[in-house]
Amino acid sequence: MKKGSSFVETNFVETLTPQYTPGAPSSAMQTLEDKVAALQAQQEMENLRGEIQDLNEKLETLRVKRAQDKEKLKEGEKMKLQVEQLLEFKSRIMESQAQLQRELQKAKAEAREAVENRDRHMDDTQELTENVEMLTLDKEMAEEKAETLQLELDQAKERIEELTLDLEILKTEMSGAVTPTDGVANSLQVRQLEQQNSRLRETLVKMRDLSAHDKHELQRVQKDLETKKGELADMARAKDKLAAQVGQLEQTISDLQEQVDAALGAEEMVETLTDRNLNLEEKVAELLETVADLEAINDMNDQLQENARELELELREELDMANSKIREVMREREASNEVIVDQDATIKKFRELVQKQQEQNMDLRHALEKETNKPIGTPSEIIDFKKMFTETKAHSKAIDMELRRLEVAQANHHVAYLTQYMPDNFMSRGGDHDAVLVLLLVARMISKAEIVIGGIRDKYPVPENIDRSAVLKTHAIDQYAFSARLLQLLYSMQALLHQYQYVLGTCSVEVFLRLGTLYPEMASHERNLDFYVDLLRKDQLDENVSLESLEKTVSYFSTVYPSHLLSEKMDQTTYLCDTSRVLTSGADAANTCASVVLALLHPQHEDCEVAVMCRDIVTAGKEINAAVKRIRRRMPQDGSVGPLSYPEDVQETLTSTTNYMNNAARALRHLTRNLLQQTSLLADAEGGVNGEKLKELTHQATDLIYGGEDLGPDSIKLSVQRTLSELTRITSALEKGEYDFDGTVEERTIPPVTLRAQALKNEMKDTEHLKYKLESREQDLKELKLAVKAKNEELSEMTVRRDLAEKKLSTATRDADLTIEKLQRKLDDTLMMLRRKEKEYDETMDHLQSDIESLETEKGELREKLKALNKKTLYDALSKSSPLTGVVSPSSPTTPSAGGVPPSVPGGGMVRDSPMLLQQITDLKTALHHATASVHNNTAQRMHSQLASLRPIKVQKLSTMVGEEKRDVSKEDVDMEDKRSTDHINQLMRQATSLQKEVNALMTGVTVVDLSKRKPASFPATTTGDPAHHIISHNNKLNTLRTRIASLQDEITRALALNTPGGSVSTAFSAFPSPQLTKVLGEQELVQVGRVRVPGEMSSNQEPVQVVLQRDHLMNLHLRLLK
């Protein structure tokens, strides 16, 4: 049985309760609001961009017009001079006009003849083209018809073979001993078969004639087609000559037309230029005024552009921060979903396993009981130490995973808290934060690529041999070729990323920040690598996966490096090592593809050009691997003298060799795929592909990869040979020691991250220093302002006093009258308000008093109605198996009914509470429900952890002497046991009686919380009078009673099982009730033991009253009836 995942995990049985805080906004709503705000901001940005673009277009239009006006002014001055010159040349032009007219007539005639010849030639060419197309169509139709006839011929042959077999079978049947009737029947069948054979033979002859006729027609059509192709080539050459002549004549006609137009339009040009000059002088004045206005508009537009640019940068920063938050939330949600799915699958597996084991255990017990006719106890458990060790290991691994997850979460929180202390420019787009993210991204992508490399190496091993059967019948060869190509791309990407990592540790701060601006693009390419990591994790990374996205990623990093980091120094030792790995994987991919091509080639075409190329590639690949091994042996190991050092031309050579090997591997990969498809389409797959078809497929692959530099199969061969020659040269130089360490000790550079961090710290220190200076200056300015303000106040006060003294006599009487009127109005308003407040206070007190009285009345009614409850409800509740339904029924007045509906009382009437009380009760119920759920969840988790920490139970084997000891029990021990059981039963009866009294007291002693003493907007000193406290204490009492009743029922059931013959099953730990007794005790239907009729009138409407009696009550009833 394959084990998917261990079920020994922490938080095994976990109730997933939503962590919801009442009153707090939901994260989904907050995210939606953020998205809406981002969309609005983006829409405003688009509108502002549109306005800025319109203003820019208007400004550019005006600038162009100004430039055109300046040019027109210059042209006007030139035209004045030209007018004078044109008047002089007018007479000369008129003389040459007549001569040009004659030449023009002659040229028109020649052109007309040339056009007629061209049209005639084009018609002939068109007719020939149509004839060729018709012949091509006829050829295709003939080929299709021949194929159809060939298929029909094959079917007829198969039918003839079947009929021949049937005839042979009939002959064998007829050769045996048969009855006369059977002989007649067989002779009739033979005649029918002979007639069918004759018809089929005639059909076969006709098919053969038709096939011969079609072949003859096809040969004739092919000959006609070759003849027409020759004629078409001749016509094409003639057409090219005539087209050249027509072009020359058209050029001559255009030159003559220009001369004629210049001669005819000279006089008109002079008049037109004069009018234009006058108009331009008027427009110049208008344009000068427009220029002044546009300059003002341009200044305003620059300000608007500046503001829009700042707003755009702010909105971009906000949008990037919102997108990063959304990505983090999505990543956390995916991780949570994965954990939940894993836990659900684990729980399901555990439950299925437990159920299966229980069913097997029960089946084995029943089978053993049937065989031995004796009750079988629980067998002792066999300790599986291997399983224990596995579970312990899985448990420790789960705990380690929980700790790692906690450490990761704490680290993320730590980083988030630290980033909150950083300034805004640190988190801005293209700033220090993006540069740090690029530094982390490069290292992360190197690690992810190494993960994929390790997984792909283990998944697809090297095939032992490559032959036709292995290629066509299995996928191992194709998978290894795919893995080699994938490794080549991953090694190429690692080589580039190692150089990025080295440059990021040694470059300047400016280059470091410039690379930070490329973080969004690099992050998108990291997602391409994550796609392959995810496929590897799901075990779906096979030869059917496309490598285009990975090729784009490698192309991107190889393009960015020379454009941004060309002047930076490289880690030459690492680059040489990475290049050797790239060339090894590329050589493996090329060798595999070339071997596949040789395996699928037809045996008769093994000496073709492509086959020779493939053999050369295999040989060169082996030599490349040998050269790489020599390079690795010469690479400096740990503890060596120093790194390698070689000139830049060698570095460029290594880059070119990787490009050559990449092109060769890609071309061979395309060739292999096309060849496999062609092989699957062949009718005779065992024969293989011929040399011509293979050459055509090779040309297609090289055209796709090499493009304009394509040389056919020689392109692939030259790429591999160049790689081998350059690599051999570098290997020879390396073995001679030309690239060894020369002893030059490089100055240790400080990483740009450290420099930037120090600069940022210094800036913060300078900012603090300036802050202190500004605060001292601001304090001085405040003191000066206060002094100036005090002087101004003194001056204004003296001025006001002077004015008041001047106006005091004139305004004293008027002010006094106005003051008296205002005070009188205020007094009247105050008295009216006081009367209104007193009236509202009296109404409120009356209303509260009426509420208190109604509550008291309701309290009395409830108390009276609860006392009138029938004892039948209590006895029914106690007789039921569930203790919860016996203590509090759904209609009990002590339990608040759901949904705010007032509880009903069986005695009659409905009790209606005030809306305020119902709302308080509902809120308290909700709070109590949440608190109870939280307490239960915590208790379950604590018990689960305690159970997980306990040691495994060691079950001892039952002694064989237990039965013998029981047989030797004396009579005195039996009497003592009976007395002990009687005392235990009496004690249980006393406990049941006391519990019944407590339940009655709880149901009849309903209390209503007095709300009359509470005042609005005031809080009591204690919570004992709070309705929530009352409900909590009441629920605590209910829970206590439930627990006691449940334990009492368990004790009663156990006592009944012990005192009932055959009612208990003894085990190693305790005695349990037998299934029969459990079934009897679980029955809900009442047993009728008697019927008592009372004299009186019997009406059909009266329903019988069922009386539930205990054992002692039933005995008393018997005694009374007997008397």
DSSP 38-65: HHHHHHHHHHHHHHHHHHHHHHHHHHHH
- Of the listed ranges 295-299, 334-338, 384-388, 903-907, the least confidently predicted one is 903-907
- Of the listed ranges 176-185, 232-241, 398-407, the least confidently predicted one is 176-185
Tokens representing 142?
């003939």
Chain segment 574-612, per-residue pLDDT in tens: 888 888 889 888 888 888 888 888 888 777 777 788 888
Amino acid at 481: A
Cα gap 41→316, rounded to integer Å? 9
pTM over 0.75: no
pLDDT score, position 1086: 61
- 750-755 CB contacts, 8 Å cutoff, 24+ apart: 751/504, 751/505, 751/506, 752/435, 752/504, 752/505, 752/507, 752/508, 752/509, 752/511, 752/512, 753/435, 753/436, 753/439, 753/504, 753/512, 755/509
Residue for token digits 């009743």? 1045
Cα gap 238→232, rounded to integer Å? 10
Query: Can you tell me whether residue 621 is helix, strand or coil?
Result: helix
Q: Average pLDDT, stretch 409-425?
A: 78
Tell whether the model's pLDDT for residue 27 goes beyond 50. Answer: no
Decide: 617 and 594 in contact? Cβ < 8 Å. yes
Burial of 776 (0-12, 13-18, 19+ CB in 10 A): exposed
User: Phi and psi for 249 in degrees, rounded to 5?
Assistant: -65, -40
DSSP state for residue 913 in the 8-state scheme? -
Cα gap 121→1051, rounded to integer Å? 118
Chain segment 301-353, per-residue pLDDT in tens: 888 888 787 788 788 878 878 888 888 888 888 888 888 888 888 888 888 88
pLDDT score, position 17: 37
How many Å is the maximal CA-CA distance in the chain?
166
Chain segment 446-498, per-residue pLDDT in tens: 988 988 888 888 888 888 777 777 777 778 888 888 888 899 899 999 999 99
Tell whether the model's pLDDT for residue 824 goes beyond 60. Answer: yes
Stronger pLDDT, 1107 or 877, i.e. the higher one:
1107
Tell whether the model's pLDDT for residue 877 goes beyond 80. Answer: no
- For the chain, the first-to-last Cα distance in angstroms comes to 74
Instruction: Name the average pLDDT for the chain.
Output: 76
Burial of 624 (0-12, 13-18, 19+ CB in 10 A): buried
User: Phi and psi for 360 in degrees, rounded to 5?
Assistant: -65, -40
Tell whether the model's pLDDT for residue 646 goes beyond 50. Answer: yes
Cα gap 200→468, rounded to integer Å? 40
Cα gap 779→39, rounded to integer Å? 44
pLDDT score, position 491: 92
Tokens representing 268?
């008109």
Q: Average pLDDT, stretch 31-57?
A: 76
- Which residues make Cβ contacts (< 8 Å) with residue 869, sequence separation at least 6? 906, 907, 1003, 1004
Confidence of residue 73 (pLDDT cuts 50, 70, 90): confident
Q: Average pLDDT, stretch 352-371?
A: 85
Query: Can you tell me whether residue 910 is helix, strand or coil?
Result: strand
Confidence of residue 1001 (pLDDT cuts 50, 70, 90): confident
Decide: 343 and 14 in contact? Cβ < 8 Å. yes
- Which residues make Cβ contacts (< 8 Å) with residue 905, sequence separation at least 6? 862, 865, 866, 893, 911
pLDDT score, position 905: 39
Q: Which residues pair with 601 in a beta bridge?
A: 689
DSSP result, 204-224 = HHHHHHHHHHHHHHHHHHHHH
Tell whether the model's pLDDT for residue 249 goes beyond 70. Answer: yes
- Closest C-alpha among 213, 206, 218 to residue 144: 218
At residue 687's C-alpha, the angle toward residues 684 and 690, to 5°, is 105
Neighbours of 576 (CB within 10 A): 24
What crossing angle do the helices spanning 648-681 and 691-706 adopt, rounded to 10°? 140
How many angstroms separate the Cα of 1090 from the Cα of each of 179, 1081, 1086? 89, 20, 12
Tokens representing 346?
């684990």
How many angstroms separate the Cα of 898 from the Cα of each of 291, 816, 863, 1028? 81, 69, 22, 16
Tell whether the model's pLDDT for residue 550 goes beyond 80. Answer: yes
Chain segment 722-761, per-residue pLDDT in tens: 888 888 888 888 887 777 766 666 677 788 888 888 887 8
- Of the listed ranges 599-613, 676-690, 889-903, the least confidently predicted one is 889-903
Tell whether the model's pLDDT for residue 18 goes beyond 80. Answer: no
pLDDT score, position 996: 86
Rounded percentage of the chain residues whose pLDDT exceeds 90: 1
| CA 701 from centre of chain | 36
Cα gap 838→831, rounded to integer Å? 11
Instruction: Determine the length of the chain.
Output: 1123
Decide: 871 and 1003 in contact? Cβ < 8 Å. no
pLDDT score, position 965: 42
- Of the listed ranges 2-16, 47-61, 488-502, 739-753, the least confidently predicted one is 2-16
Tell whether the model's pLDDT for residue 432 goes beyond 50. Answer: yes
Tell whether the model's pLDDT for residue 503 goes beyond 70. Answer: yes
Tell whether the model's pLDDT for residue 1047 goes beyond 50. Answer: yes
